[in-house]
Chain A
């Protein structure tokens, strides 16, 4: 079965330090992978996607993600965290065997401390 795992419920990072939010996936074919961010009391916003090509994908707000096929991972990264990056982050994978529906991870709460 297709699945997405975000192994950390919460990640704490000091402002200015690099951050990583982890995501691993399981799909039967080629993965289409996404990261979304949710600020408090708001809907989700698209950050970036991996479809094909370069394993390092750049997205909005200085975020990037690295696709690693051998480790079936798609970790979200940022070189220098800002307090305003504090939010809930969701990883998702497209399930081409289930009519292209998105399968969502449970979310990781990112807290950036000043």
Chain B
């Protein structure tokens, strides 16, 4: 039981490049989330998927797109990376959207130069 896994662990992009961050969970959770973590700012929600087949914007969606590929997988895409997107990205899941506990992956550290 791996929980929530994320790939890659580290990535360096040049401005304007694109990439997709992958996330998968094996806990049969219905809801999944993408956050970014910046120093002194806590976590900010980028997008979430309350259930398979649905996605919604969070607090900071600009510059990102998501795909809920199936119940297990939820990917985050940066179409044209900008230095402001340098951050640590966390994927999380929960049993239901209104569940109290979220379970986090280990994170992806992204640097955009």
| Interface residues in chain A, defined as those with a beta carbon under 8 Å from any beta carbon in chain B | 4, 9, 32, 34, 41-46, 49, 51, 90, 94, 99-102, 104-107
Min distance, Cβ A110 to any Cβ of chain B, angstroms: 15
| Interface residues in chain B, defined as those with a beta carbon under 8 Å from any beta carbon in chain A | 4, 40-45, 48, 56, 58-59, 90, 92, 97-98, 100-107
Cβ–Cβ < 8 Å partners of B45 in chain A: 101-102
Report the nearest B residue to A91, measured CB to CB: B42
Q: Are B42 and A104 in contact (CB under 8 A)?
A: yes
Cβ–Cβ < 8 Å partners of B44 in chain A: 104
Report the nearest A residue to B50, measured CB to CB: A99
Name 8 A/B residue pairs within 8 A (Cβ), A-sorted: A4-B42, A43-B4, A44-B43, A45-B104, A51-B100, A90-B42, A90-B43, A104-B42
For A46, give its contact among B56, B58, B59, B101 (CB under 8 Å).
Answer: B101
Min distance, Cβ A6 to any Cβ of chain B, angstroms: 8
Q: Are B43 and A104 in contact (CB under 8 A)?
A: yes
How many pairs of A and B residues are in contact by the CB < 8 Å rule?
50
**Complex Cα gap A9–B70 (Å):** 39
Cβ–Cβ < 8 Å partners of B58 in chain A: 101
Assuming A99-B56, A104-B42, A106-B42, is B90 touching A43 (CB within 8 A)? yes
Q: Are A32 and B90 in contact (CB under 8 A)?
A: no
Q: Give me 11 other A-B pairs in contact (C-beta within 8 A), A43-B107, A49-B101 excluded.
A: A9-B40, A34-B101, A42-B106, A42-B107, A43-B92, A44-B90, A46-B101, A49-B100, A90-B43, A102-B43, A107-B40
Min distance, Cβ A44 to any Cβ of chain B, angstroms: 4
**Complex Cα gap A99–B97 (Å):** 9
Among B4, B42, B59, B102, find the residue whose CB has the most chain A CB atoms closer than 10 A.
Answer: B42
Cβ–Cβ < 8 Å partners of A49 in chain B: 100-101
Assuming A43-B4, A43-B90, is B101 touching A106 (CB within 8 A)? no
Cβ–Cβ < 8 Å partners of B43 in chain A: 44, 90, 102, 104
